[in-house]
Structure 1
Amino acid sequence: MNVRDIMEILEADIIWASETGLDAEVHTACGSDMMSDVLAFVKDQSVLLTGLVNPQVVRTADMMEMHCIVFVRGKVPDDSIIELAKERDIVLLKTRFRMFTACGRLYQRGLRGGCEKE
């Protein structure tokens, strides 16, 4: 699966993406609003789904080498967050779906989590 597939599954809009960002391969995803949990428990994730809209989301995704952040519930980051994602080449998407639904749709289509406790 690639980021473009995720965009389609979640009926998501692009906030920002590089020319090649939508073609990045993804194998796992994680949904969380607690970045400390992402740092503590997540391994080998490609996509982060969150309703949290602050710079720490991009910094966390960058530290975890994620390719894409999906903001749920139609959340839109401000320009400073978008600039940070551009600097780190992380695709930003937004979907109208709530976290539970977005994660469920991805899971149903074969995307799994890579969490230690799964």
Structure 2
Amino acid sequence: MNIPEWPADLTDFRLPPAWDGRPVDWHGWHPPIEARALFLCSNNGLRRDPQPCSGCGHPFQPWWAQGLTADGRTSITVERCGLCNTTIAFETGPDGTSEWTLDDSDYGPEGSFDNQEGNR
């Protein structure tokens, strides 16, 4: 099997325009950061390999974007595989932190809503 090399180019630049009905101010996409490049000491216990993408198994470091809802109460960080476009959202707000897998419905004019267990 021919596995593309890291990093895979981002081809889907969509972001949810709203989160549970609240507009989101996104700060754009950022390229992957190779975790191994961050830790130069090999014996300090911090060195780790990237986790595989949950969608395709590619040993990815995700592209990422961060946004804040217009009311300032919720921060959203999304990570996207450049190979298969699997997108995971991490929501941090007054009710704690949640993790979601986004699908095509999250990018429509209504934005993303919590409508299913584990999916937005």
| TM class, shorter-length | under 0.3
Higher RCO (Cα < 8 Å, 6 or more apart)? 1
1 or 2, which has the higher helix percentage? 1
TM-score, normalization by structure 2: 0.23
* Bigger strand fraction: 2
Radius of gyration: which is bigger?
Answer: 2
TM-score between both structures, scaled by the size of structure 1: 0.23
